[in-house]
Amino acid sequence: MDNIAILLEAPILLVQLLLDGLLAGSIFALAAYGMALVWGVMNIINVSQGEYVMLGGFVAVLLADAGIHPMLGVPLAAVLLYILGWLIYRLVIFRIVDRDLFISLLATFGISILLQQLANQIFGADVRTAEGALGTSFLFDGMVTIANIKLAAALIAVLTGGALWLFLKKSRLGQAIRATAQNARAARIMGIDTDRVYATTFALNAAICGAAGALVAMTWIIHPYFGLVYTIRAFMIVVVAGLGNLLGVIGAGLGLGAAENFAGFVLGVEYQAAFVFSLLVIILLARNLLLGRKRQYLK
């Protein structure tokens, strides 16, 4: 209640919270777009989504520790995670593409645990961040401050999402991915190598998450066990937006970032993750209720 009173006494804080939330939400949307891609094309719910974000963050942290600006970690993380995603597909994921959805949940959950433990052994369990200070911008006579690194991260997230959209829209491989998403059997009949499409899709998702993770490391914190929250965020955004809806993913990501930032201020940072999980439960219950009302029965 005290924090609500502060907001009422200083409404300018609402602007501060909204801007910070929207900037964070752009990164959430980027990671969610990768999940939507894998889910829509391969019919796989990737529970290890957040672990790729985490690994991308550690790439930026290692560069910062070496004295290199972590912004270079964005393309490097994308490349390294693309390779990792392709390897994971060839070792595990190709075996479950045509299996039941529950099998994919179990398999990717196992990958999630494996990546968590490997990261813990290699990087340690400490909370880390990549210092990418670019100064601070001031708005409204200095009453609102925005770290320039957050602005840069949001811009990179938007550009990355736009580049992926153009790739899917204009390139031959992108068109093959879209065709496979619409009807994999028809795509195979037309001569499309769907196995290559699946491998590329899964690797692209990992690359997107790697880039998002590098941005997270520069704007927030990372540690080996924070991936689950990003998986939940991505899943929630996709459920709200729907598959193949880029604008919906962007809108849901920005909305989640703003809502989560307000909740963190009002309830306390320690309850921010609990707010995300609670919101997911509410959304799933609401979707189930809406779907139940639309059911039709034969008489």
Residue whose structure tokens are 């929207």: 22
Query: Which parts of 171-226 fold into alpha helices (H)?
Result: 172-182, 184-189, 194-219
Tokens (6 digits) for 136: 């601070």
Single-letter amino acid, residue 271:
Y
Hey, which residues does 145 pair with through a beta bridge? 138
Residues 6+ apart with CB under 8 A from 120: 224, 225
Tokens (6 digits) for 206: 């990992």
Enclosing H/E stretch for 145: strand 144-147
Hey, which residues does 147 pair with through a beta bridge? 136
Q: How would you write the pLDDT of the chain (299 residues) with one tens digit per residue?
A: 567 777 777 778 888 899 999 999 999 999 999 999 999 999 999 999 999 999 999 999 999 999 999 999 999 999 999 999 999 999 999 999 888 888 889 999 999 999 999 999 999 989 999 987 788 888 888 888 999 999 999 999 999 999 999 999 999 999 999 999 988 889 998 899 999 999 999 999 999 999 999 999 999 989 999 899 899 999 999 988 887 787 889 999 999 999 998 888 888 777 787 888 888 888 888 877 776 665 544 44
Threshold 0.85, pTM exceeds: yes
Tokens (6 digits) for 251: 């809108």
For 272, other C-beta atoms within 10 Å of its C-beta total 15
CA angle (164 as vertex; 161, 170 as ends), nearest 5: 135
pLDDT at 5: 75
Enclosing H/E stretch for 139: strand 136-139
Residue among 161, 167, 178 nearest 25 (CA): 161
Residue among 52, 60, 59 nearest 33 (CA): 52
Hey, which residues does 186 pair with through a beta bridge? none
Residue among 53, 47, 49, 61 nearest 78 (CA): 53
Tokens (6 digits) for 99: 């299996």
Residue among 95, 66, 91, 111 nearest 209 (CA): 111
Distance CA 82, CA 59 (A): 13
